[in-house]
Amino acid sequence: MTTIFAVCRTAEVPAEVIDNILTASYEYSEHLSAGIGQLLAVLPGPGDGNDGSNMDTVEANVTAAGTAAGLPPSPFIGMSAEQVAERLGEPKNRFFAVLDARTAEDSTVLLAAMETDDDVELTGRLQTVRAAPKWVQATLVALDIATMGFEEVIDMAEDEPSGVYGASGHPGRGEVESTNDEEDVLPSDTPVPPLVFGEVAEEDS
């Protein structure tokens, strides 16, 4: 069963910013995994009577890019990520995203993971990391199917000058040292294959 991930607004984020985040996230996720679809639900959805705590209808709440202007007011305004986690409160919702005050400023998104005991009981511990918009869905999916761990995401974010996961491009690839040798410099039009979660890039021998 495909997991739909909750996206919760804890601050007033302009609809245009939300739409841009969704567009970037969906497009890059599709680039990495063709046919994956749209898996983010900004709660509560249009016409949804729940207060954001009932995730049973989350599949009907998948938010398409370009529809943020129709979202109802968020019940999560002013909450911390920990309070949002308490509101969502089930192991199936353990990976989610938060659009907060900083999101309104720079479009980065807070990704969160509720720690579970053998995927059955929540432990009450929450981990968070800030990510660039295009990595939101792809990262949540990778965490959900366990092709990467949250500690890995945190480590890669800490390697970024900004502290934002994926801010400089492909997380985990590191920076390439420049050289003065022309033969070591790739032409600007040389295609670079996308980095797919779970794959390890092989170096030429």
- On whether residue 197 sits in a domain, the answer given is no
Written as six digits, the tokens of 87 are 């509101």
Q: Domain containing 97: what range?
A: 5-184
Q: How confident is the model over 68-120, as pLDDT tens digits?
A: 999 999 999 999 999 999 888 776 788 999 999 999 999 999 999 988 776 55
- On whether residue 96 sits in a domain, the answer given is yes
Tally the domains of the chain: 1
- On whether residue 204 sits in a domain, the answer given is no
- On whether residue 168 sits in a domain, the answer given is yes
- On whether residue 194 sits in a domain, the answer given is no
DSSP assignment letter at 145: T
User: If 0-12 CB within 10 Å is exposed, 13-18 middle and 19+ buried, where does residue 53 land?
Assistant: middle
- On whether residue 200 sits in a domain, the answer given is no
pLDDT of residue 173: 44
Q: How confident is the model over 13-30, as pLDDT tens digits?
A: 999 999 999 999 999 999
- On whether residue 172 sits in a domain, the answer given is yes
* Cα-based distances in Å from 172 to 29, 40, 61, 154, 155: 17, 24, 32, 11, 9
Q: Where are the alpha helices (DSSP H) in the chain?
A: 15-32, 81-88, 101-106, 136-144, 150-159
- On whether residue 29 sits in a domain, the answer given is yes
CB 112 within 8 A of CB 128: yes
Q: Can you give the pTM of this predicted structure?
A: 0.78
Q: How confident is the model over 153-165, as pLDDT tens digits?
A: 999 999 999 999 9
